[in-house]
Amino acid sequence: MTPANTTSVKPQGRGIRQTMSDLHTWAGLLVGWLLYAMFLTGTVSYFKDELSQWMRPDVPHQRVLPDAAVVAQNVSHQLTTLAAGSPQWSVYLPTERNPVVNVFWRNAPTDVKGDKGGNRRGFEEATFDPATGQRLKARETLGGEFFYRFHFQFHPLPVLWGRWLAGFCAMFMLVAIISGVITHKKIFIDFFTFRWGKGQRSWLDAHNALSVFGLPFHLMITYTGLVTLMAMYMPWGAQVAIKTPAERAQMSAQLSAFPPPIKATGDKAPLASIDAMVRQAQARWGANDVGRVSITNPGDAAARVAVTRGEATRVSMSPQYLLFNGTTGELLDVKDNVGAAAETRGVMYALHLGRFSDLHLRWLYFLVSLGGTAMVGTGLVMWTVKRRSQLPDPARPHFGFHVVERLNIAAIAGLSVAMTAFLWGNRLIPADAAGRSATEVDLFYGAWAATLLYALGRPARRAWIELLWIATALLTLLPLLNALTTSRGLWHSVAAGDWVYVGVDLMVWALAALHAWLAIRTARHKPKLKTKPVRAAQVAAAAQTSDTPVNARLNEDRA
């Protein structure tokens, strides 16, 4: 509502709904732009693996998922030479969604000190073709991982800063949800209310419908988002209670699927059969439910092998693994349960990531999450729509209004342009260019900054329409660019039955259509000079659900 009336000394008589409405408005506005970006990149991250596949066209399409045990054996054999002297290898086995083998290994201690070769993070990575067991040379890119890391740490901000910022925004989101619900007295009735073509009313109805429709999801996703990083946000209990190394190990066993570290003896001993260990895990969990094989002290007499369960078949991220003696192959430990609180945390974590979901559920996640993005977006736009009618001279808004209006354009329409530019960069930057992964990210931020400059330089209405059309054009041409720059155009993908590539190309077109439609709606919209409050309150369009909000006008603009 309007900012507090400054002339009344005692703001008495302002009911809880009014104060909660103010809280909702201002908490939402302050972090709304970042929240919108977190929501949209998070939404896209439900298809992170698929997007990563699409962004590495040099990696051939895999038709069948090879046996995990054979793959683990082959890859660990290669690592004995490739990662010789490393204290730990982690082999992430192929899944249906990510059909390659990703391997990380810690650098040998001498490498880290020597500071030549090796990389600064202290570990190396490589990708293997599960079918041939050969190392894959793919273009250097973050792939879908970029949106994922942007979503919770604003990559490439320093990780600590980025995560605190994300947590701050998430906490505001939680408060905005609760205050929004308290504000909303007719939460059920309004869900079935949609007043078309009524300017501010329509925006309010759209915002309400989006919020109420997805309320359980929004609440869940916000809270579980905080839970994923809770040890960082709320470290105090652990600091008080966890002091000895034994307590630390006990705590970490509740949260982490990495077994406790063990000292190398220095005596050499060959690794036992990894294949046999993975088979034991497969017998326990199922053939395709082995997620990772971690080998500590490979080649040493104190070698340990942990075979960790995958993420796809249970709704929990709590640690489950089998621990083997690496030289004898003897099963040392079966980790299959954690305490109640730790399991709760594991379930919440899994609910946030949605990795357990099959394709249908994944689409539902995506759509509801897109609804959440639209909820934040409509909320932001409503702030300007509501205040525009109260401006003394709508043609010359005050500074604050001007700032919000322009940031809205760049944060909403501009983000679509920037994210698409990132994908364009993936196809246009030469595959062997040095530092191309960082260049892609630079392109994302460069494009985003450009849209902000554009939004500042054009009349608001024109800026909305033009940026939406630019996003439409970039999205529409992307599958064509893909067909021109790779041998995996839509036609080939269909012929080869490569449904990930087909899916990404078609999805991009669907999003292009959405943007075109929003652009047309905005362009056709004629703002009313004066609203008629009495009549507006009477007209209530009947039940419209998820698809109506995007129908709402994108912006009421100056005449």
Partner 1 sequence: MAQVRRAARLNVSALVSRIVAAIGGGYVVAALASVAVLALPMDKSQAVITGMLASFAIYAGAVVWVFAVRSAWRAWAGLLVVAAPLALVAWAVSSGLVTGGAA
Q: How many CB atoms lie within 10 A of CB 231?
A: 13
CB of 236 or CB of 399, closer to partner 1: 236
Segment near partner 1 (CB under 8 A); pick from 189-197, 338-346, 437-445, 490-498: 338-346
Contact criterion met (CB below 8 Å) for 270 and 299 = yes
Peptide bond into 527 cis (omega under 30): no
The 207-246 site mask, x for binding partner 1 (CB under 8 A), equals ----------------x--xx--xx-xx-xxx-xxx----
The 118-157 site mask, x for binding partner 1 (CB under 8 A), equals ----------------------------------------
The verdict on 251 binding partner 1 (CB under 8 A) reads yes
Among 254, 280, 282, 325, binds partner 1 (CB under 8 A): 254
CA distances from 439 to 123, 142, 154, 359, 447 (A): 22, 11, 16, 32, 12
Among 126, 171, 481, 514, binds partner 1 (CB under 8 A): 171
The verdict on 256 binding partner 1 (CB under 8 A) reads no
Among 182, 220, 456, 514, binds partner 1 (CB under 8 A): 182
Provide the token pair at 74.
């082959």
Candidates 100, 102, 122; CA nearest to 111 is: 122
Q: How far apart are CA 554 and CA 199, in angstroms?
A: 10
Provide the token pair at 25.
């408005």
Provide the token pair at 378.
């409509």
Among 25, 45, 141, 179, binds partner 1 (CB under 8 A): 179
The verdict on 344 binding partner 1 (CB under 8 A) reads yes
CB of 214 or CB of 225, closer to partner 1: 225
Among 159, 178, 431, 473, binds partner 1 (CB under 8 A): 178
**Angle (nearest 5°) at CA 300 between 296 and 305:** 30
Contact criterion met (CB below 8 Å) for 213 and 371 = yes
Least distance CB 405 / partner 1 (angstroms)? 24
**Residues touching partner 1: how many (CB under 8 A)?**
43
SS3 335: strand
Measured over the CA atoms of residue 69, residue 74, residue 79 and residue 81, the dihedral's sign is positive
CB of 241 or CB of 434, closer to partner 1: 241
Provide the token pair at 120.
């600064």
Least distance CB 25 / partner 1 (angstroms)? 11
The verdict on 7 binding partner 1 (CB under 8 A) reads yes
Provide the token pair at 123.
């570990």
Among 59, 112, 302, 342, binds partner 1 (CB under 8 A): 342
The verdict on 337 binding partner 1 (CB under 8 A) reads no
Least distance CB 313 / partner 1 (angstroms)? 24
Segment near partner 1 (CB under 8 A); pick from 14-22, 321-329, 479-487, 515-523: 14-22
Largest CA distance in the chain: 87
The verdict on 257 binding partner 1 (CB under 8 A) reads no
CB of 226 or CB of 412, closer to partner 1: 226
* Helical ranges in 184-235 per DSSP H: 200-213, 215-228, 230-233
Provide the token pair at 108.
């040998």
Least distance CB 451 / partner 1 (angstroms)? 31
Among 126, 174, 272, 473, binds partner 1 (CB under 8 A): 174
Candidates 336, 333, 267; CA nearest to 304 is: 333
- Region label for 195, one of left (φ > 0), alpha (ψ between -120 and 50) or beta (otherwise): beta
Provide the token pair at 317.
């991220």
CA distances from 66 to 101, 177, 279 (A): 11, 45, 13
Segment near partner 1 (CB under 8 A); pick from 168-176, 266-274, 365-373, 403-411: 168-176
Least distance CB 342 / partner 1 (angstroms)? 5
Candidates 96, 172, 87; CA nearest to 122 is: 87
Provide the token pair at 11.
């703001």
Least distance CB 12 / partner 1 (angstroms)? 7
Candidates 358, 389, 38, 364; CA nearest to 225 is: 38
CB of 318 or CB of 522, closer to partner 1: 318
Which residues 6+ apart lie within 8 Å of 503 measured at CB? Answer: 50
Among 70, 82, 175, 483, binds partner 1 (CB under 8 A): 175
CB of 78 or CB of 344, closer to partner 1: 344
Instruction: Enumerate binding residues for partner 1 (CB under 8 A).
Output: 4, 6-9, 11-12, 16, 19-20, 22-23, 171, 174-175, 178-179, 182, 223, 226-227, 230-231, 233-234, 236-238, 240-242, 247, 250-251, 254-255, 339-342, 344-345, 348
